[in-house]
Structure 1
């Protein structure tokens, strides 16, 4: 017996309509990913004690940057100003190079979003479903780059002086959970749907 399977954000499209436990575990994972992301943003903002120095605004703005591109640009501005004031060289760490790469990819992602919204106005030959696939794929790359950038920040002198011991290990693992949930959602939503046989 063959049946068409449609995507569902909670896993029902994977042929598991009868497995209520699976559905609720998926829902719990999505909620936990959102709580984890928000909690990480708030905690980093509190740890940086904004206003105590020029640098202190950098972690605040960059942790909020998942929400807005403008905050990322502002965070970059605070970092550049802090380095210039301290007369320290720029782009000397993996974190800084990954951060610049993430910001560039975020700008590209925003441009892809404009293409998805206005394909006819821009006279594009690529069909909208394919543009959405490219936009989603680029978004996944941006999210994973941002996750790696955040994790690399935890090896910085500032973060290691602020957070120590078991808490440091918890912070190191914290960004990975939302990344896995986001990756799962995007791949389930945009990979080609297949028919299941039973």
Structure 2
């Protein structure tokens, strides 16, 4: 009796890698929540950074980190289970992000302010649209039998992986960019705190994307490289 896709106990390096990555994600999210939740008690806007920091900084990033198998808990699970965790966390994350998006729209309407008039709002709109499209494409990537043999499964998986890498980059960039808005100082944030949030999310993104990038490069070599000759 074999356990397909199961692994041995995670190494010390894997545990340290997972712990560091989660610390770099959790610390800035907690800091943002400390600033934004009290702000949200007297302003609807305050719940926008709350939703976005949780949706992006915890749920969406964990969805990518878990499917790669580098997260400590996920590293002990078979591939099929990690994929299930991936789409469940993504779905919840997208719902939370959607709530944050609705909150900022309603807040703009209440204050009679123009929509998507700032770099942050424009970047956020584009990123959300691309995130939804990439997530929808992920359904196809998880069900490649729908288009096989017309389309090779590896092509779909490469496209989804590359799209996911780009989306994580955009989501983290949008989250970081949001700390450069006026609310940051109104909520009690400091320049040093903002710089630490920037650095923490930046390096967390690098750690999360190392394995997906290497995997995408490997698959691209298979797809676009010279055909192997069978001797």
Structure 2: distance between partners of 1:94 and 1:126: 38
CA distance in 2, matches of 1:165, 1:75: 24
Instruction: Work out which of the residue numbers 41, 45, 50 in structure 1 matches 2:29.
Output: 41
Structure 1's 153 and 120: CA in aligned 2 closer, same or farther, altered over 3 A? same
Aligned equivalents of 1:154, 1:168: Cα separation in 2: 6
Find out whether 1:147 has 2:172 as its counterpart: yes
* 1:122 Cα deviation after fit: 5.0
CA distance in 2, matches of 1:77, 1:36: 28
2:150 partner SS = coil
State whether structure 2 residue 52 is matched by structure 1 residue 62.
yes
d(CA) in 2 for partners of 1:166, 1:55: 23
**In the alignment, which residue of structure 1 is the partner of 2:228?**
none
Taking structure 1 as the reference length, what is the TM-score of the superposition?
Answer: 0.78
Unaligned runs of 5+ in 2: 1-10, 60-92, 222-231
Structure 1 residue 30, shift from structure 2 partner: 3.7
Q: Any idea what the Cα deviations from partners look like across 1:44-65, whole Å, max 9, x if unmatched?
A: 1221114432111111111122
Q: Does 1:176 align with 2:164?
A: no
TM-score, reference length from structure 2: 0.68
Number of aligned residues: 172
CA RMSD of aligned residues (A): 2.2
User: Aligned partners of 1:69 and 1:124: how far apart in 2?
Assistant: 31
- Residue matched to 2:215: 189
